Amino acid sequence: SKEIMPRALDSMVQMSLRILNDTSMWKAGDWKTGSRMKKLGNEPIILDESEILLWTGKFSHGCYGSDVPCVKSMGLVNMSPRN
């Protein structure tokens, strides 16, 4: 129904943001990411055009799909958002 869809989408967005920001779930996926994060400490992440950071994690809820690893990445895409 029209009333359920906005609430369902909002709920999915909120859960996604919680997962992305849950630092206990994610570990550095490669040595470059781990090294870079140690150097930064609490400072904001500023990337150059050739840099890609990678994290891996697993869901701890035990529900369907929790056995599949998750991947989170961060990088710059050098193009217009309209392309």
Mean pLDDT of 4-8: 90
DSSP type of residue 30: S
Token code pair at residue 16: 């996604």
pLDDT (tens digit per residue) in 20-48: 888 888 888 888 888 888 888 778 888 88
38, 31, 29, 33: which is closest to 51 by C-alpha? 33
How many Å from the N-terminal Cα to the C-terminal Cα in the chain?
34
Residue 10: predicted pLDDT: 93
Round to whole Å and give the CA distance between 75 and 29.
14
9, 10, 13: which is closest to 21 by C-alpha? 13
Model pTM? 0.65
Is residue 76 within 8 Å of residue 50, measured between CB atoms?
A: no
pLDDT (tens digit per residue) in 53-81: 888 888 877 788 888 888 888 888 888 88
